[in-house]
Amino acid sequence: MAKHVDYYLATISPWMYLGHDRFVEMARRHGATIAVKPMSLGEVFPVSGGLPLSKRAPQRQAYRLVELKRWSEFLDVRLNLHPKFFPANGDLAACWVLAAAEEGTDKALALVGAIGRALWAEDRDIADAGTLDALAVGLGLDAGKLAARAPAMMERYAALTQEAIARGVFGAPTYVCQDELFWGQDRLDFLARKLAK
């Protein structure tokens, strides 16, 4: 049976950013294909018991920062705990990712990684089309083509969000392999075991 992972992500998620490169490397090492599926947590949270960061209890918000610092140090991945442009609207970035996916999964994955770094390590505004243009150019992608296609991706983005909800996804990143959910970059070891079987 072919190995495949559906990668449900939110472009604004620090956890997606922390796990992205490790996940991509792991999937390649195990010969697994990836379907890049950005979704809107603003739609997912209300139907799954999640809360936007600003509405979480103070102790949960504080512990989130502890964990982000802990994981970024453990993984040796640069991360700004208080990025200049957060919270950000990740919808436009998600549409650029979907436009890049039309050109190939590797291009979409590269753009996802660049978006995560831009927000969480480089203090760049991923809601800004100029930022996305620069990220795409930096990756050797056709930024003009992606910008032109992005508006048409909103319907696909909405459909993927509903698909995620229907599959029981409640947070990002979520990796789905053979209908088994693995929520969070801290579950990548379990996903690796699944792919190794």
> Residues 73-121: pLDDT tens digits?
999 999 999 999 999 999 999 999 999 999 999 999 999 999 999 999 9
Q: Are 108 and 98 in contact (CB under 8 A)?
A: yes
Amino acid letter, 97: V
pLDDT bin (cut points 50, 70, 90) of residue 1 is low
pLDDT bin (cut points 50, 70, 90) of residue 18 is very high
| CATH number of the structural domain spanning residue 132 | 3.40.30.10
List the domain range (segments joined by +) for residue 157.
Answer: 4-196
Question: What was the pLDDT predicted at 51?
Answer: 85
Domains in the chain, number:
1
| CA 133 – CA 96 distance, rounded (Å) | 9
**pLDDT of 185 over the 80 cut:** yes
Give how far Cα 162 sits from Cα of 57, 67, 98, Å.
Answer: 27, 29, 15
